[in-house]
Structure 1
Amino acid sequence: MKIKYTNRYRTVILDVFSIYWGMRNEGTKEEEVFTYFYAIYGPQDAALGVYDSKEVEVVDPRLEGEWVYTGNMRFNGVCYAPLAKERLLDDVIDRDPEAIKKFLQFAIRDGLLDAELYKDAL
């Protein structure tokens, strides 16, 4: 899956590796459904960033590779399987170098990222 994100400096196409949704302020007038995309910004910052669905455009809705459902009482989602199975998601978001390296190895192995593009992050 790919999303288009525009900030004040540029527009980029990002690869999505996790999607979460849920309800904010449930039972109040401010009740709101949310969806977040966890996407890799690129080789210069190989960690996952969090992007609100209201701030991006989905440009390719296909989920490539193996994905798994994750859910609990607060929110539900789908995640690129190695991030869930290896318990890497939180560490990759927190920019742990070893977790990022492991995540990139899985994504490259599965053909989701270009090895040449991410060689410096490995």
Structure 2
Amino acid sequence: MKIKYKDQYGTEILDVFGIYWGVREGGTKKGEAFTYFYALYGTTEVSFMVYDSKEVEVIDPRLEGEWVYDGGVSINGMFYAPLIQEQLLDDVIDRDPEAIKKFLQFAIKDGLLDAELYKDAL
């Protein structure tokens, strides 16, 4: 899946590796449904950024590779399988270099990312 994000600095086309949704439980938007995308940002200092579905355009809706559902009480999501199966999601979100490297290796092996583009992060 690919999304397009625009801000004051330009336009980015980003690869999505997680989608989660739920209903807000508090604050001024209590009861409002939300959908967020975990998208890969950067090629040398790689990290996941969270993007609100209301602030991006989905330009390729296909979920490439193997994805799995992971659900909880208030948040449910679909994620690129190695993030869940290898318990990498939290560490990648926290920008752990070893977890990011392992994630990139899975995504490159599965043909989802270009190895040449991410060589400095490996």
Answer whether TM exceeds 0.5 for this pair: yes
2-structure distance, mates of 1:3, 1:79: 15
TM-score by length of structure 2 reads 0.94
User: Residue in 2 aligned with 1:106?
Assistant: 106
1:51 has 2:35 as partner? no
1:39 has 2:47 as partner? no
Amino acid in structure 2 at the alignment position of 1:46:
V
TM-superposed CA distance for 1:79, in Å, is 0.3
User: Residue in 2 aligned with 1:97?
Assistant: 97
TM-superposed CA distance for 1:29, in Å, is 7.3
Q: Count residues with an aligned counterpart.
A: 121
1:6 has 2:6 as partner? yes
Amino acid in structure 1 at the alignment position of 2:90:
D
Q: C-alpha deviations, 1:13-67, integer Å up to 9, x for none? A: 00000000000137x9742000000000130331111111111110000000000
TM-score by length of structure 1 reads 0.94
Identity fraction in percent: 74
Give the superposed CA RMSD.
Answer: 1.4
Q: Which moved more, 1:28-37 or 1:106-115?
A: 28-37
SS of residue in 1 equivalent to 2:65: coil
| Contact 1:40/1:49 (8 A) holds in 2 | yes
User: Residue in 2 aligned with 1:70?
Assistant: 70
Unaligned runs of 5+ in 1: none
Amino acid in structure 1 at the alignment position of 2:7:
N
SS of residue in 1 equivalent to 2:101: helix
1-structure distance, mates of 2:22, 2:89: 18
SS of residue in 2 equivalent to 1:45: coil
2-structure distance, mates of 1:15, 1:82: 15
TM-superposed CA distance for 1:74, in Å, is 1.3
| Contact 1:14/1:42 (8 A) holds in 2 | no
2-structure distance, mates of 1:63, 1:105: 18
| Structure 1 outlier segments of 4+, above 6 Å | none
Unaligned runs of 5+ in 2: none
2-structure distance, mates of 1:108, 1:42: 15
